[in-house]
């Protein structure tokens, strides 16, 4: 039985939604599945409201799905520290809050929830303590793809819900209809969610020249400029529809997390980005490509190759090579069209592998469950 505790999760929202996407999923799972008392401190409620409709952009306190959502003010007004304190992705806790933790006289578990990585050193560093200048210990908690890490965010019923949806073509049809999309007979359905990416044009060229019809769903986001440039139009907006050759492009609105899951489950291939959609793309059980967030020192290439080493380990050599080539082209910004043609020859193997990968990750445990267990074991 898990210990029932009060949790404070602190999140600084960045423009790519990944930080708030991860912490919001985690907060509602801790509350809904594990019965924990969760406060989510968010510095930008206006951005959060796009993920959680009905959110007030100005309320100091509000409740959503069992989570006490608080505005994280610039001038900290004070709050009793929780039993478990999570600073997400190295955001810095208010100094007054840290002082209150140290002065409380209670045992408080302080966790830094790190960014997701498949690099080798993650396993050795996961859950290690670090003594802080305040005299408190902080533990570093690493999500990951191996059993010895913190695992991935996954709701308890996620795989069952996904499998039920994918077994029922009528549900897919109804969802697409809600977006104003009707699937063509025999068409390949794809989704595109990426940062600005020079590789997009070559990929779209290949889709447009294909002998098979392709339908591309593009949620509102940063990559729209590249798609618009390829189409030769000034800009794209939700509801816009365009066709070139074998490719039909549909721009769809920015989605809630639950809606985005349905989009991923509906498609035959998903292009995802960052961390939040990367994880959800894997749970979809469909072949995918990942646009990793570029870093100035090119450190993202090490992270990309580390994941590919894990992900392709049990793939046949030809399928593994095709996947690696496309992912490299996608992130290098060139050569995606040629690599896409090779990738399609391996689609059946990649589809079977994507499904097997989800079951392997389920066996590793999920992030919320591992956090609760870690706290219980720490007591």
Catalytic-labelled residue, pool 8, 19, 276, 366: 19
Catalytic-labelled residue, pool 83, 87, 205, 275: 275
Alpha-carbon dihedral sign for residues 124, 98, 84, 71: negative
Pairwise CA distance, residues 264 & 249, whole Å: 16
Q: Exposure pattern of 254-278 as b/e (b: 16+ CB <10 Å)? A: ebebebbbbbbbbbebbbbbbbbbb
Element at 153 (helix H, strand E): none
Strands 188-192 and 269-273: parallel
Task: Give catalytic status of residue 275 as yes or no.
Answer: yes
Residue pair 273/261 in contact by the 8 Å Cβ criterion? no
Q: Which of 261, 265, 266, 294 is nearest to 276 (CA)?
A: 261
Task: Give catalytic status of residue 296 as yes or no.
Answer: no
Residue pair 53/256 in contact by the 8 Å Cβ criterion? yes
Pairwise CA distance, residues 134 & 161, whole Å: 45
Annotated catalytic residues are: 19, 275
């Amino acid at each position: 039985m898990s210990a029932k505790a009060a949790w404070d999760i602190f999140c600084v929202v960045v423009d790519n939604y990944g930080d708030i996407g991860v912490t919001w999923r985690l907060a509602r799972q801790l509350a809904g599945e594990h019965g924990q008392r969760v406060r989510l401190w968010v510095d930008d409620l206006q951005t959060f409201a796009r993920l959680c409709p009905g959110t007030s952009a100005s309320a100091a306190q509000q409740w959503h799905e069992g989570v006490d959502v608080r505005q994280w003010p610039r001038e900290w007004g004070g709050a009793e520290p929780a039993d478990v304190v999570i600073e997400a992705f190295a955001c810095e806790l208010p100094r007054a809050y840290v002082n209150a933790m140290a002065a409380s006289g209670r045992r408080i578990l302080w966790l830094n929830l790190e960014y997701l990585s498949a690099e080798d050193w993650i396993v050795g560093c996961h859950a290690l303590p670090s003594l802080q200048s305040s005299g408190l210990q902080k533990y570093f908690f690493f999500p990951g793809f191996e059993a010895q890490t913190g695992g991935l965010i996954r709701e308890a019923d996620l795989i069952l819900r996904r499998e039920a949806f994918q077994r029922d073509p009528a549900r897919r049809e109804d969802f697409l209809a809600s977006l104003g999309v009707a699937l063509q007979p025999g068409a390949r359905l794809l989704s595109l969610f990426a940062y600005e990416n020079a590789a997009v044009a070559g990929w779209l060229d290949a889709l447009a020249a294909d002998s098979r019809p392709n339908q591309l769903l593009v949620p509102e986001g940063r990559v729209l400029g590249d798609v618009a440039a390829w189409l030769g139009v000034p800009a794209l907006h939700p509801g816009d529809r365009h066709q070139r050759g074998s490719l039909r492009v549909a721009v769809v609105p920015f989605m809630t997390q639950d809606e985005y899951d349905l989009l991923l489950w509906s498609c035959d291939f998903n292009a995802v980005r960052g961390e939040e959609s990367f994880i959800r793309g894997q749970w979809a059980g469909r072949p995918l490509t990942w646009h990793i967030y570029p870093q100035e020192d090119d450190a993202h290439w090490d992270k990309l190759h580390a994941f590919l080493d894990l992900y392709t380990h049990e793939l046949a050599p030809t399928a593994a090579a095709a996947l690696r080539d496309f992912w490299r082209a996608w992130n290098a910004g060139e050569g995606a069209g040629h690599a896409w043609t090779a990738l399609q020859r391996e689609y059946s193997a990649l589809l079977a592998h994507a499904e097997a990968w989800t079951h392997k990750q389920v066996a590793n445990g999920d992030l919320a469950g591992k956090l609760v267990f870690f706290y219980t074991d720490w007591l």
